[in-house]
Structure 1
Amino acid sequence: MLNKWLFQRVDNSSLIVFRIIFGILITAEAWGAIFTGWIRRTLIEPQFTFNFIGFDFLQPLPGNWMYVYYGVMGFFGVLVTIGYKYKWSISGYTLMWTCVYLMQKSSYNNHYYLLILILVFMLLVPANTYASVDAKLNPKLKQISMPRWVVLFIVFQLWIVYTYASVAKLYPDWLSGEVPAMLMKNKKNYWLVGEILQQSWAHYVILYFGILFDLLIVPLLLYRKTRLPMFCLAIFFHLFNSYVFRIGIFPYLSLAFCLFFFSAELVHRRFLPKKPFYDKEEVIVPEHRNLLIGIFCFWFPFQILMPLRHWVIKGDVLWTEEGHRMSWRMMLRSKSGTASYKIVNKTTGEVNYVKKGDYLSRKQIRQASTKPDVIWQFSQRLKEMYAEKGEEVEIYVNARVSVNHKDRKQLIDPNVNMAEAKWDYFFHNDWILLHEDED
């Protein structure tokens, strides 16, 4: 039964078309970062980047070499599009994208993490077996079918992402319309929709539409009678996000996912009419069956449990940020604040306050004032800088932070020497103040 469910052959038109669109989009993502100035602002101009904790060895290449890095990555995207040396090209892009994701979090976006997951998916699937240079050079590679697990994998993964994104919005500040109003506040000058987005009724439309769309998109795309109207809503939703939030390729990638929900016959007829259509009922169990099932048994429990980890960490994740990343908590809050870093030089006896602008970009300053993990990392960098001069220091941080424009509160215990503080990935860090008794 399991073999039939996973390994029954189905037409592969949706995967082939998705590969071509996906290749174009990841090429645009890589080369677009060069021409929009993202690489310069994020990876070249800053003195250092705030990498994911534990990945300090991943640092941007010196000088202008990150332009070359992204140029090569975009070239891999072109090879994915045309299906040439596919396994090597998708592996190269996956590795390079993952390294950039881990080496900086100043421009963190949940969609960047989603792209890693989809790249791994594309690495596993036979996406180059038709309409590819590989299949043309090696006719034995050509196939018009694929195992059914390909469709099941992507559908289940998307259901996890959208469901968590919906559930995360079920908290007071979103349900009151406060967060949608904040998100729209700086969109007033947008052509055509700017004034509309400032209306309270529009905030409530965004509020409920955001929750319901994320919750229902996958089930209603799976149901034949609601598939077309839901796809039309998806077009509106993702184009709206593209225009209002300027989030790069991801609205278009989300629309491309819909290929896996429509019938294979329709995708074949619309996009690959010259390709033979596969309509047999055949089950082919691959030699690596057990390895694939092992991957699934690790992958999906991880995807389900990872976004839940903040529930077992003490404190409100909106405040502490502990368990926030890789949990599909998208556009849920606004944080602002100020932080001062006091350096007590134990070697010379001097006491100084850090001028953050001497070390950090404007965006990094905002994060080093509101995000506990970045505050900890900046403190460790300062400690290292003084250690290189043979000096030992204590570092005390006075950070007052507001979440969703509420009253500012002390984020970091000002009596804790952050130079000696430890970072705990799995449990609450006690130097982050909670204020639970005050709420």
Structure 2
Amino acid sequence: MNTHSRVKGFYKLSVAERVKWIAANACLTEEEVQKLSGGLSMDVADSMVENVIGQIGTPLGLAANFKVNGKDVFIPMATEEPSVIAAASNAAKAAYDLGGIYTFSTGTIMRGQIQVLDICDPYAARARVYEHKEEIMEQCNLKDPTLVALGGGVKDIEVHLVNTVRETMLVIHLIVDTKDAMGANAVNTMAECVSPLIEKVTGGRVVLRIISNLADKRLVRARGVFSSELLGGGEIVKNIISAFEFADADPYRAATHNKGVMNGMTAVVLATGNDTRAVEAGAHAYASRTGKYRSLTTWELNKDGNLVGTLEVPMAVGIIGGATKTNPVAKIALKIMDVKTAEELAGMIAAVGLAENLASLRALSAEGIQTGHMRLHAKNLAIMAGAKGDLIEQVVQRATEEKDFRYSRILEITNSLKRGEDVVDGASE
């Protein structure tokens, strides 16, 4: 696939025209095109979760202008929040001619934790676990020969002593390469199967046996150079850097700052059928790794006066197993991006997170976050007020001109335009 992510006026195309364009460029079949609008069948939904009675739709859009590791790509994003996809696309445009966004992954290693209680000699027990390391690893790997054949499986173990208010717990970490799977099922199965051996070696009682979502051995890093000129000039860039410094120093600001990162990342995680809660939990835990909740991104000036952004975040996602294969739309999203490995997918997600954060900071540093956001939100309000077709844009345009996005005012505008009446500020005539 040789898709150019810079398509002038892509957002102005109708839904049908966008679908036709991406179908041609991503080589989607007619069946795949139909599934984009059809979503899940009730039979598939019933096989995924319990007590199914229906489905809830989330809009799926495409972020444009992305170049990731030299590859032009449209990135599918599933989100209910207006302005998120447009914001990511606009920020990506500022990096496109300067090389785009580059990403690097540290691998596909996950941790499985085995909690051992009621140990009278925890330090000696830790030593005994290390003495039986090879036996423990071998027993775990026997549970997933397919993963081992692909080069994955348990690669190491760590043994930690965790002091709580009541006792010293022994916690064994299985260091597992899960390859192109997120890995929860494989890791949890291994942790459970090896627990009897752990109890025998330690003399303790195993309780919890589960994956950790703080995937600090599965990091993805993203870096992009963004044109200061396209962002609005030196004063705005200076404000962006100041906003980052504020977030890095103050957890109250950092929470909203990192929410901007996750606006982008979570939308891609959801679009590809991955576990949004796992990725978000890992990201926020990683932001607190120094003992203080801080920014996930950094922003600084380079020697050319352009803005340079970096992001480092855990990324436990996969392209095989789970909803990535069960949900037909998730499979199509992966096909559109043309990703071949979980690490490549992680890079796409991180690139969007970096761009989304910049878009938020740029808006805050210039016209304020509400200007663009409310214009897009006004579409939802216009539809709520009963506008349809071309009337929606007319209502939005009028509300934007007035800078009045209250639902009551949008309802007045909608009703007046429906009746073919002139609209005046604050009232209809």
TM, length-normalised to structure 2: 0.26
Considering fraction of residues, name the structure with more helix: 1
Considering fraction of residues, name the structure with more strand: 2
